[in-house]
Amino acid sequence: MTASTTDRADVVQGPRARRALIAGSVGNFIEWYEFGVYGYFATIIAANFFSLAGASDTESLVKTYASFALAFFFRPLGAVIFGRAADRIGRRPTLILVVLLMTAATTAIGLLPTYATIGAAAPWLLTGLRIVQGLSAGGEFGGAVSVMTEFAPTGKRGLYGSWQSFTVALGLLAGAGLAAGLASVVSESAMNDWGWRVPFLVALPLGLVALWLRLKLEETPSFQRAHAGGTGTAADAKPVPAAPPRAGEVARAIGWGIARLMGWSAAGYTFLVVLPGYLQNSLNATFQQALVATVLANLGFACSIVPAGVLSDRIGRRPVMAAGAALVAVLAFPLLSVLQDTSSSTAAKSFMVFVAGAVVGLMAGPGPAMLAEMFPTRVRCTGLGLAYSLSNAVFSGCAGLIITEFIKRTGNVDIPAYYVVVTCVISVPALLALRGDDHRRELRD
């Protein structure tokens, strides 16, 4: 073992690595908690902010999902702005800034006056806050994944990176659980009046905890090496830095990343976030029934993420993620068939949504490590952040809008299955193009 490798192994062990894992995870938890809450309360938000005179419930829901999608389209801009900052000045200060922005915007939504109170300004203010959230979320992913994977011990990048996706599941579960709990103790009129605000206001204490943890975070060893000329620490820096990657190489990697992520993005949001609105508007489920189904899907998702990350450390990212995409494509139509069948038992429906979430977890567990391995340190935050945010902008942020609008136009309640099948069929060959030994290689400086 060389001195450089020894230094690297020493630097990433123990409390520093664990602190990095927690600090990277907590902001991501808040981000996805909030995005989940917005999706779960889509029908109520539509009634409070987008129900204009003469508009149907479906039209209001489409406008709500359009606001949802708009925030996602600001994620790539956030990935560029905050990704460049993280690649130049450091992961730590950037992650502190993005969690402050996300917390402030989410709390403000909980305090926002509705259309009935201030008229047409209400949906515009809501959309503006969603844009701030989109910008901060675009910077969150690249910084958090870089911190987790750059601190990860050798052979454990899949495990460490999987915590990014695991906190997505925890955030979505927390949002769905709180929403379901409120729906069970608060009347429907109270929920529409003030109950929907509670989950957004909860983001404030969560954000303060995240800020405290990130203030204690240290800079990653990979960033220190890359900006000190390729040595193990800044103290024994050499004067010759590594050559910066070419723009064409980075652009190609971003393109490959989008293709590999699109199935995960589409299936994840269809099964884990858009499901409540679909069940209520297309299958006439109650708000509480829709949320229970979503909680089960997210439980399945959470249960498979970390094991999938660990498995990818042993056999590679390629077989685990490709299998996940293929299984989603195979199971999409049977899942909807069971949900649409009024004679299907509650147990059968529960099992199917749990399995759907678990299969998405096969892609989500190894995904962050796979992305980190595609980019060198000097552009890692920007590159993986752009690949992720662009994929999410198109295939996650638009999922609710596309599905709801196509069902409205065609009356075909199988649209969600068509959507995830097409995207996963494209992702499978892109995932099979991964090198089989990426999980064994050192991250590039």
Rounded to two decimals, the pTM is 0.81
CA distance 439 to 158: 8
Cβ atoms 60, 122 nearer than 8 A:
no
Per the CB < 8 A criterion, the answer to whether 24 and 141 are in contact is no
Name the strand (E) or helix (H) holding 153. none
Going by C-alpha positions, the residue among 32, 49, 48, 82 that lies closest to residue 396 is 32
pLDDT tens-digit readout, 148-199: 999 888 789 999 999 998 987 888 788 878 887 888 888 888 888 888 899 8
Element at 155 (helix H, strand E): none
Do residues 222 and 443 touch, judged by C-beta distance below 8 A? yes
Which of these CATH numbers, 3.30.365.10, 3.30.70.260, 3.80.30.20, 1.20.1250.20, describes 14-226+244-440? 1.20.1250.20
424 close to 114: Cβ distance less than 8 angstroms: no
Q: What is the mean pLDDT of residues 355-371?
A: 94
Q: Are 156 and 313 in contact (CB under 8 A)?
A: yes
Share of the chain above pLDDT 90, in %: 36
Q: Indicate if the pLDDT at residue 329 is higher than 80.
A: yes
Residues 17-43 have pLDDT tens digits of 788 888 888 888 888 788 778 777 777
pLDDT single digits (tens) 63-102: 666 776 677 788 899 999 999 999 999 999 999 999 999 9
Q: ∠ at Cα 9 (304, 93), nearest 5°?
A: 75
Report the distance separating Cα 395 and Cα 2, nearest Å. Answer: 44
Residues 213-240 have pLDDT tens digits of: 999 888 888 888 877 754 444 444 444 4
| CA–CA separation, 313 and 154 (whole Å) | 10
Six-digit token string for 59? 């039209």
Domain boundaries of the chain, sorted by first residue: 14-226+244-440
Nearest to 69 by CA among 119, 133, 115: 133
